[in-house]
Structure 1
């Protein structure tokens, strides 16, 4: 298979995995609801999947480097397929055992997702594809898969029941394992494990991911910005938007419309950004996109009850958000040494995803303490302040980095040839 064909195959495997995961995100809680009738247990299942997902991307990343990226991808996909198959095969499974299987699947997915992202870069370079185009296209396809996956998941649950939908998720992971085993050569340097003599002790390797991120002058401010966006976005999605819809429109259709316009904006923005990305300055685009994707989307709920206005601002925020994840993905590829990318990606994901559970809790407490509209206005104002401070910090850091780089470049130019 040609280098471009191998890249497309791995890219497709990753997107298929996202689609299957989206289906299971609906099917497993639904299975719990119809078998136990407990909304609380639905929440526990979601938490049992998310926490191991975040943690494994950090603590298991050094083991993935030691074991080899190709092997790790195949093992995690096969393990995820078996865990999903176990859930689907025994829908009346005792709840504690179900939590264990869900947690195993979440941990395997967390590590497998990080490894697949790292493996995309060498295959893209071998195929002559720009990294920024790869991250932009991946963001667009992933968002489309998430958008379509919700609808497909609902239909599959309706047609085949929750166990049938979960069987499909298991099949997607098995397919991913087959694709990687088939198209990624075992001799690929990026997929092979290091020699025993080159292996670092576990704790040294774990610290390497943190050091690689904090040593860079630009990445820490970008990671902090993503943490802020995830925190306020979760408060928005989990608390503010549902309560605003209930209070102003009284119809669940509006909820789908608000979420759908954001996703549509993100998908359209990904298509446009894929074309324009090579002509843009990545770091500035990231900060501007983050600023537009955060506070305006929150504040509009506090100043207007007009669904058209809210959807319009939400659509623009989706357009802006389409530039955020691809840019930081490309900069991680370009600025982090390949031998520590698995660990650095895991650390980045863990830090930024920490904002998700915090945001949901703080959003609920704010509404309980202040009421919906004041909570939205306070949250939007805090989001605006945080993104503004981080943008100013980024300008200062970027200027310092350029000042430090310029004398070195002048010194090189001054050397006699």
Structure 2
């Protein structure tokens, strides 16, 4: 893949925009909390990063396949750049408001759904099926590395140029990304016959998600994980400020985000070995149970370095549950339904569970405390783990194959 210049342009575009998004992922909640001092408002940003999958998830993949993918990617990058650039402009004019930040967060997340759909669809056409694994690996590993390094760098940037200045850098990153995508010369839309009924496509994916017992079970367990994960994501900044008295522009805020990403990266390294030695249901159940223990650590810890370790462990356990669930769903789903079932499952878990967890966590943190909010939002995770343990011995004939037992 290193010698493929056209793929290299797409890779650079994704890495640059990912780095910018990782920076604003820290800067935006810091800016919101500095304006409002509210955990609800700050957690709402995390909810808005996931909610668009509920709104657009079922139709984005099907519609983007019928559109010019390069154009979709360029336009969505430019729209994101414009939305993000409005933040430092409003701050300079002393007109920045919480509603403005919520609009920007929701707008960028909405166009990202369409951009991701275009990118996922464009990659096989761009590199060919024979190179698809290496191309995905290159993009995934680079994105993970960026998410480890960028949040800590964002903490430093925020302390030097302020959160609104950091947001300006993210706007530039999306503009640069659009330029690189525009320079790709190879076609990214293979000739295909469009489907005749979008509604029928969507209904078929949803029906399979509900009808197939293994897919339904792992999706339900994923909801418990997503609710707890939404609360953690939405409260990271508030957790640092209120529990550990970290100043609003302190670079240590970014360390928690980097620790979370590092744990996720570790999960991708250990998952192949775990999958070879442990049944998928057991992997998910143990991962959910371990997540309960990690949240208990985050709730009770008093030392900063233990909080950083706890956040890394949360990234590890949650990613194992998520990746294992995705793998099981892919194994159980027929090829012709992969895209629709995948998006439907992501809509249910990420699109519903994450916003619910984030908003509930923020409301509970303001009404009670951050620690109490984490305890209460961990309850769906406890319930999911209990269901997982109860289903470790499935009834004969209910599995789709030995790989899912």
Name the TM-score class by shorter chain: 0.7 to 0.9
Distance 2:240 2:164 in 1: 34
In 1: Cα distance, 2:393 partner to 2:151 partner: 39
8 A contact 2:32–2:42 mirrored in 1: no
Aligned mates of 2:113, 2:388 — CA distance in 1: 28
In the aligned structure 1, how far is the partner of 2:227 from the partner of 2:328? 22
Long gaps (5+) in structure 2: none
CA contact (8 A) 2:295 2:378 kept: yes
Q: What corresponds to 1:25 in structure 2? A: 25
TM-fit CA distance, 1:310: 6.6
CA distance in 2, matches of 1:110, 1:237: 19
Q: Report the Cα offset of residue 228 of structure 1.
A: 0.8
In structure 1, runs of 5+ residues without a counterpart are: 406-417
Partner in structure 2 of residue 413 of structure 1: none
Contact 1:13 1:175 in 2 (8 A): yes
Q: 1:139 touches 1:325 (CA, 8 Å); kept in 2?
A: no
Instruction: Say if 1:28 and 1:297 are closer, same or farther in 2 by CA, change over 3 A.
Output: closer
Is residue 2:292 matched to residue 1:295? yes
1:200 match: 196
Superposition map of 1:97-108 within 5 A: 100-108=103-111
Using CA pairs under 8 Å that are at least 6 residues apart, name the structure with larger relative contact order, 1 or 2: 2
Q: Mean Cα displacement is larger for which, 340-349 or 226-235?
A: 340-349
Partner of 2:156: 155
* 2:217 aligned to which of 194, 217, 221: 221
Aligned counterpart, 2:52: 52
C-alpha spacing 1:393/1:150, structure 2 compared with 1 (3 Å)? same
Distance 1:217 1:43, change over 3 A: same
Which residue in 2 is equivalent to 1:175?
Answer: 176
Distance in 2 (alpha carbons) for counterparts of 1:27 and 1:17: 15
Partner of 2:265: 267
Structure-2 separation of matches of 1:226 and 1:294: 12
Deviation at 1:171, TM superposition (A): 2.8
Tell me, in whole angstroms, the C-alpha distance in 2 between the residues paired with 1:280 and 1:367: 40
Q: CA deviation at 1:224?
A: 2.0
2:349 to 347, 352, 373: 352
Structure 2-normalised TM-score?
0.72
TM-score (norm 1): 0.71
Pairwise CA distance, 1:377: 6.0
In 2, distance between residues paired with 1:122 and 1:347?
23
Aligned-residue offset at 1:272: 4.0
- Post-superposition shift, 1:315? 4.6
The answer to whether the 8 A contact 2:31-2:163 is kept is: yes
Deviations for 1:357-412, whole angstroms, at most 9, x for unmatched residues?
3224444666789988777666656523322313544752896224799xxxxxxx
**1: CA distance, partners of 2:401 / 2:148:** 44
* Distance apart, 1:244 and its partner CA: 10
Task: State the alpha-carbon separation in 1 of the partners of residues 325 and 158 from structure 2.
Answer: 35
Provide the rounded CA distance (Å) in 1 between the counterparts of 2:29 and 2:299: 31
Change in 2 beyond 3 A, CA 1:71/1:258: closer
Higher mean alpha-carbon deviation, 2-11 vs 69-78, is at 2-11
For each residue in 1:327-356, what CA deviation from the matched residue of structure 2 results, as whole angstroms up to 9, or x when unmatched? 444555565566655544433222212222
Aligned residues: 395
CA RMSD in angstroms, aligned pairs only: 4.7
**Structure 2 SS opposite 1:185:** coil
Query: Is contact 1:3–1:127 with CA below 8 Å preserved after alignment?
Result: no
2:115 pairs with one of 90, 112, 117: 112
* Matched-pair contact (CA < 8 Å) for 2:76–2:112: yes
For 2:231, the equivalent position in structure 1 comes to 235
